Chains A and B, each alone.
Chain A
Amino acid sequence: MAAETTQDQTNPTDAPDAGQVRTGREGLVGLENEPGVAKPDPIVVATGIMRQFGGLKAVDVDHLEIQRGVITALIGPNGAGKTTFFNLLTGFDTPDSGDRTFNGRSLKRMSASRIARMGMVRTFQLTKVLSKLTVLENMRLGATGQIGERFWAGVLPFLWRGQEAANTERARDLLARFKLDAKEGDFAGSLSGGQRKLLEMARALMVEPELVMLDEPMAGVNPALKQSLLGHVKSLREDGMTVLFVEHDMDMVRDISDWVVVMAAGRVIAEGPPDSIMSDQRVIDAYLGAHHDTDITQLDAEAVMAEAEAELREEEQS
């Protein structure tokens, strides 16, 4: 895991030994920037995921692998299906067809809560803190395998008091790390927007996840807090967790991600390391439109017509 601690991701690594799995960021070196490219050590593999809302194909992903131990960003213009894809991966929505695996286990017909217990924990675009519970209670809720959460054991405090104390200690450590320790007695509903984001992330860590999925962690966060949030996300990778996040903030994407997956109109159109993906023609087309830098008065009308007809034919055939 030596490569994990170096910040410079473009640092060329030695050619890996044949037969040895290239883990973490090492595994991403030299991969092609093609959608669906196979990763040496994937934690999540999605195949043929399709989700339709009425006539709208919101998500249609042929193949996608997420490398373990790295920070992967999921970007794309509005309406690209990023959040829907997120919901499909975490079990908050079920795909019409296709399957996804987590650590090699299929997630078919698995409830969101079960997937979370397996170690894939998400946050929400609109933060969901439990307003009328204190910050500390929010944190305690995150701990898994609590004896006191069973009805009969709940009545008998001596059964769960020890475990509760241990959870509380862990919660306090995490709160201190996210600088929320001074707020532990406050109602979560009284926190500011940025503090809620922090609390949600800290609470997700109480589950002890392997894969943390952050849905727009920077939305509505002030620039100062943004820096500290970036640091927290990086520290998750340092702790050996895998991070997948949806984000619109390109600075953040460039700054912390090791790998970028670009979605447009429900499909993965490109993926690759952040420095090269931004200049990928397909990505520019998706964000700005294919003809964004051509002067339309200069276009040959017939050529445009022919192109459009060809496109129509193609659509009819598929």
Chain B
Amino acid sequence: MDLLTIPLHDAFAPLAVSFVLAAMGLNIHYGYTGLLNFGQAAFAAVGAYAMGVAIASFDVPFIPAVILGVLFSVLLALLMGIPTLRLRADYLAIVTIAVAEVLRLFFTTTNKDYFHARDGVSGFTSGFRNANPYSEGMLGFSRNDLWVMTVGWLLVAFFCLLTWLLVRSPWGRVLKSIREDEDAVRSLGKNVYYYKLQALILGGVIGAFGGFVGALGLASVQPDSYNLDFTFIAFTMLILGGAARVLSPVVGAVLFWGLLSFLQTLLSKLIGEWGVIPDSILNSEQIGNVRFMVVGLSLMLLMIYRPQGIFGDKKELAIDGR
């Protein structure tokens, strides 16, 4: 039974929600606009830190603190987008990956009174938890987790609806056209730069909400949660679901966490409870890495046999870029 319930539990937990949102932001960037943002972790980190520090150190109420987090992520998008979006696509990739690392080190090493280095920011959840309508936990989730998940999945639903509306609008059409060929869009009188900036901001803000949910779920904001793996796992989830589909980051993220958690449970049972695999071949400390190996293998198989992802359209993929 554990083999089923534990993965299900993990696939919908607050941490999974945070990755769903991060991947949804990347879907706007990469899936629809063709922007290569390798620093989604930076948006989540800036959102989470701005909210956490505002509440813990400056006693800002919860809602204004969230708004502050959104504002900082917009600023970050402007900071990274204004100098690079006029240039070739690779420059944004270089800048975002660098900024994400710079910010992580900045949060680790500076302003220790506010950021508390590796210990991270904590003590900012009371405002959110006081609004919790649940009186007790259920389905194996604690009362607090349940509340974070409710809000988190509502946010996912809201951003799915927003994305769905936007990509069906003329605005979304311009984004998709920019992904196909910027110069063609420019020749038809659209300000490409302006649209790319809007897309970067929108995806970044969704990523910041991922940061909020992750922070509230863990009740702390630690710099190492926002390393490069964060971005690449979110990208993996997006590709798994199939880029440029509204629901693909959601399904991709849930499946990814479910699979990861299933492997963890299965391997530890094979070693411990069932004793099928002897200690000399695999011990419990190695499970963490082995499950990523298996996930990597299944991703390779996916790319070979279903390169468009779960929701993608193979016909669309078959069309060559030019």
Chain A residues with a Cβ under 8 A of chain B: 90, 92, 111-114, 116-117, 121-124, 126, 128-133, 137, 140-142, 144, 146-151, 153-155, 157, 160, 164, 187, 189-190, 203-204, 206-207
* A128-B172 contact, Cβ under 8 Å, with A155-B165, A187-B315: no
Decide: B187 and A122 in contact? CB cutoff 8 A: yes
Looking at B176-184, B269-277, B281-289, the stretch in contact with chain A turns out to be B176-184
- Tell me how far the C-beta of A133 lies from the nearest C-beta in chain B, rounded to whole angstroms: 6
Partner of A154, one of B172, B176, B190, B319: B172
In the assembled complex, the Cα of A146 lies from the Cα of B187 at a distance in Å of: 16
With A and B bound together, what is the CA distance between A162 and B193 in angstroms? 27
Rounded to whole Å, the gap between the CB of B31 and the closest CB of chain A is 11
Q: Which residues of A contact B186 (CB under 8 A)?
A: 92, 111-113, 116
- Chain B residues with Cβ below 8 Å from A128 are 181, 183-184, 187
Task: Determine if B322 is an interface residue (Cβ-Cβ < 8 Å).
Answer: yes
Chain B contact residues, CB within 8 Å of chain A: 162, 165-166, 168-174, 176-177, 179-181, 183-192, 198, 202, 315-316, 319-322
A128 to B188, CA, bound (A): 11
Cβ–Cβ contact B319 & A142, under 8 A: no
Residue in A121, A141, A164 whose CB lies within 8 Å of B177: A141
CA distance A149 to B169 in the complex (A): 7
With the chains together, A130 CA to B33 CA distance in Å?
13
Residue of A nearest to B182 (CB): A128
- A-B pairs with beta carbons under 8 Å apart, 13 shown: A112-B186, A113-B192, A114-B189, A116-B188, A128-B187, A129-B184, A132-B179, A133-B180, A148-B170, A148-B171, A149-B190, A154-B170, A204-B187
Smallest Cβ distance from A110 to chain B, in angstroms?
Answer: 12
Checking A123, A149, A207 against B171 with a beta-carbon cut-off of 8 angstroms, the contacting residue is A149
CA–CA, A121 to B316, complex, Å?
Answer: 28
Within the assembled complex, what's the spacing in Å between the Cα atoms of A146 and B189? 11
- CB-based contact B180/A131 at 8 Å: yes
Q: Is B172's CB under 8 angstroms from A132's CB?
A: no
Which of B162, B165, B189 is A113 in contact with, Cβ under 8 Å? Answer: B189
